[in-house]
Amino acid sequence: RSVGVVVVAAGSGTRLGADVPKAFVQVAGRSLLSYAVERVTQVAHLARLVIVVPEGHGTATALGDVAPVPEGTVVVPGGAERTDSVRAGLAEVGEVDIVLIHDAARAFTPVAVFDRVVAAVAAGASGAVPGLPVVDTIKAVDADGTITGTPDRAGLRAVQTPQGFDADVLRAAYASGLSATDDAALVETLGHHVRVVAGDPLAFKVTTPEDLARAERLVASWAA
Ligand code: C5P
């Protein structure tokens, strides 16, 4: 089974308060994107890597410290919303059996997580996403903040990336023109089965300055 990976790195990262797009923020002298790509290149049966970068970001600047990348790697400009960026990347992924969509911001996701996602799709699921049990109780609320429900925590998962899909299923989902913050949601909407496999705390998304400090500590712990 051939695997194509789309790394979305076109977000602005406003919540991080950095002066460069989030994927290009440095941790111990390297961009978040470079950490993400380093792990992606170790994925078994990787046939195609597509990196989606902010509009106006040239290939050379985009790749900067992201080397080496596999031959045939493509860099394309993203769009205003994550969905637009995924759609742009998907258009370049070519003839592969399984497509993984991965956030550059989840730069430290272990290769084992990618492998679990690929294995679940190869075993027949239309899609698979990594997830962790939820530690907080989650409330559903209305516009006034009045609680409308308390789902049983045991049945909830907080999901991460990479999210993996049968390539034809994901293309059909994106062709539907729907939009979502999460690729799996599009595929679920079309009635396909998507499984949750074990995620990893290291697949955390760098979103706030506290997350960036955590990333710095993590990399420092490897160097020690
Ligand atoms: O903003 P957020 O952290 O949810 O973004 C998740 C991932 O999607 C990041 O890796 C970001 O670079 C990417 N993204 C994108 N294009 C956008 C918005 C987000 O590629 N328009």
Q: Which domain holds residue 173?
A: 3-223
Segment 19-30 shows an average pLDDT of: 92
Q: Which two tokens stand for residue 171?
A: 């293309």
**Residues lining ligand 1, Cβ inside 6 A:** 8-11, 22-23, 52, 78-82, 85, 103-105, 205, 207
- pLDDT value for 60: 65
**pLDDT tens digits, one per residue of 109-163:** 999 999 999 999 999 999 999 999 999 999 999 999 999 999 999 999 999 999 9
What ipTM was predicted for this assembly?
0.97
| Confidence (pTM) | 0.96
Q: Which two tokens stand for residue 60?
A: 């050379």
Q: Are strands 194-198 and 74-77 parallel, antiparallel or unpaired?
A: unpaired
- pLDDT value for 61: 67
Segment 31-42 shows an average pLDDT of: 96
Of the candidates 97, 117, 68, the residue with the CA atom closest to the CA atom of residue 171: 97
Instruction: Return the residue whose CA atom lies nearest to atom 3 of ligand 1.
Output: 207
CB 193 within 8 A of CB 125: yes
**pLDDT tens digits, one per residue of 40-82:** 999 999 999 999 999 988 776 667 777 788 888 999 999 999 9
Q: Which atom of ligand 1 is nearest to the CA of 13?
A: 1
State the distance from the centre of ligand 1 to the C-alpha of 93, rounded, in angstroms: 18
Instruction: Indicate if the alpha-carbon torsion angle 84, 89, 91, 95 is positive or negative.
Output: negative
The percentage of residues in the chain with a pLDDT greater than 70, rounded to a whole number, is 98
CATH of the domain at 105: 3.90.550.10
Round the average pLDDT of the chain to a whole number and report it.
Answer: 94
State the distance from the centre of ligand 1 to the C-alpha of 23, rounded, in angstroms: 9
Of the candidates 203, 188, 216, 214, the residue with the CA atom closest to the CA atom of residue 36: 203
- pLDDT value for 155: 96
Domains identified in the chain, total number: 1
Residue 209 has pLDDT above 90, yes or no: yes
Partnered with residue 159 across adjacent β-strands are: 131
